[in-house]
Structure 1
């Protein structure tokens, strides 16, 4: 958690007036305001083409907005050099994708340890932290297994461990159950709830209404804009 010297926690994400336009006049985002506080578990939900994937890229500093301000962990992303932006991404953000992106020839420990390649952690320490991260996602019995020896749900848990091993302030999970059967998807979502209860801030990008409704905050997108921001027991007007 990032703290100011004499105040409340700094938001993990703060977007103000964010727009994204692509060539041909395609407006993927239109004046988006969004604040994510430490410890939140939220869904960014909407149909294909609604702007949620662009939001993932902007929040994850993978793409720059056409207009507006993006702050991650209190840092104005637009004011950072490429080197500092890469360092910010490595230190503060963890990514989980639908299709795992694991190296086929490497076991679970090495796949997770690769999440620390750009963090300046010695190799022996990387593997130690990787084992601890795998224990955290209940895969201590699969440390030496390669992706081909793992189920889909286990592969996704390895990917989650890789995202967590650097102890990021924000975990961005893009359709984390999209390639899984129902039972495996349920296990992954239960794990995300457990990780959030332990203090990890998590943002799930999804088109799945059932998954979104299971989370305590739902930010709904349509046509590049937020149309509702609902917390359990509370509606934030738009």
Structure 2
């Protein structure tokens, strides 16, 4: 029997506490393998955003181990963590964080700013990323000239332009109407089909059910994992 590939993200008994005795995450263990399409679902305050910050190396755990592509986050200094984020992880947020005076292609090209790539190559790769998300006809439009769904697609293109192994999306449909939200979900499925490992954070169980794997988190603890349930059958 062929061994499954090693996880791209691994949380091993991870805890995250804050001053004042606030424990946002407790004893959480999770393994996300290459090409998986996962939704982490829970209400506000459940710990899901804390989990995303730890998976994205935006924060460090209080206890336990976080590994990204086999590398223990605790062994990496701030410069190395910045390199991990720049090269291996793409982020998509509910708020699009696009620069108003820049065109779509310039906003996406900014995702390559710290890669030491010449400007003309950055722009060429940005145009290709926008083509990939269906916005090849909107390259020169500024954010205020785009719909909410189009702005989120620009943000997804920016996350993908460096060709990361992992994309982490925090409530990517939260600021959109239902039709635009459905388009973004379809796009994430398409990108997953092309081999991108995608993890989505959401409070909406309906959205979570649109993805292959659902991990439910509540009060800082993982309560259920559909992949574990499927494996038990």
Normalised TM-score (structure 2): 0.96
Which residue does 2:211 correspond to in 1? 215
Alpha-carbon offset, residue 236 of structure 1: 6.2
- 1:32-47 maps to which residues of 2 (within 5 A)? 32-47=28-43
Task: Give RMSD over aligned pairs.
Answer: 1.5
Work out which of the residue numbers 44, 48, 53 in structure 1 matches 2:49. 53
Between 1:82-91 and 1:117-126, the stretch displaced more is 117-126
Alpha-carbon offset, residue 122 of structure 1: 1.4
Which residue does 2:163 correspond to in 1? 167
- 1:153-164 maps to which residues of 2 (within 5 A)? 153-164=149-160
* 1: CA distance, partners of 2:155 / 2:77: 28
**Cα-to-partner distance string for 1:167-199 (whole Å, 9 max, x where unaligned):** 111100000000000110010000000000010
Alpha-carbon offset, residue 235 of structure 1: 5.8
Which residue does 2:144 correspond to in 1? 148
User: Do structure 1's residue 11 and structure 2's residue 45 form an aligned pair?
Assistant: no
User: Do structure 1's residue 21 and structure 2's residue 43 form an aligned pair?
Assistant: no
* 1: CA distance, partners of 2:8 / 2:115: 20
Work out which of the residue numbers 194, 200, 221 in structure 2 matches 1:198. 194
Alpha-carbon offset, residue 10 of structure 1: 3.1
Alpha-carbon offset, residue 121 of structure 1: 1.5
User: Do structure 1's residue 96 and structure 2's residue 118 form an aligned pair?
Assistant: no
| Greater share of helix | 2
- Extract structure 1 runs of 4+ deviating beyond 2 A: 7-10
Q: Is the 8 A contact 1:229 1:235 kept in 2?
A: no
* 1: CA distance, partners of 2:69 / 2:79: 17
* 2: CA distance, partners of 1:10 / 1:69: 16
Which residue does 1:107 correspond to in 2? 103
Alpha-carbon offset, residue 231 of structure 1: 3.2
**Cα-to-partner distance string for 1:144-166 (whole Å, 9 max, x where unaligned):** 00000000000000000000000
Which residue does 2:129 correspond to in 1? 133
User: Do structure 1's residue 70 and structure 2's residue 37 form an aligned pair?
Assistant: no
* 1: CA distance, partners of 2:17 / 2:98: 32
Q: Is the 8 A contact 1:172 1:204 kept in 2?
A: yes
User: Do structure 1's residue 116 and structure 2's residue 104 form an aligned pair?
Assistant: no
- 1:178-189 maps to which residues of 2 (within 5 A)? 178-189=174-185
Between 1:226-235 and 1:159-168, the stretch displaced more is 226-235
Give the number of equivalent residue pairs: 231
User: Do structure 1's residue 228 and structure 2's residue 224 form an aligned pair?
Assistant: yes
**Cα-to-partner distance string for 1:79-127 (whole Å, 9 max, x where unaligned):** 0011111001100000000010000000000000000111222111110
Q: Secondary structure at the match of 1:118?
A: helix
Normalised TM-score (structure 1): 0.94
Give unpaired runs (5+ residues) of structure 2.
none
Q: Secondary structure at the match of 2:223?
A: strand
Alpha-carbon offset, residue 11 of structure 1: 1.3
Q: Secondary structure at the match of 2:115?
A: coil
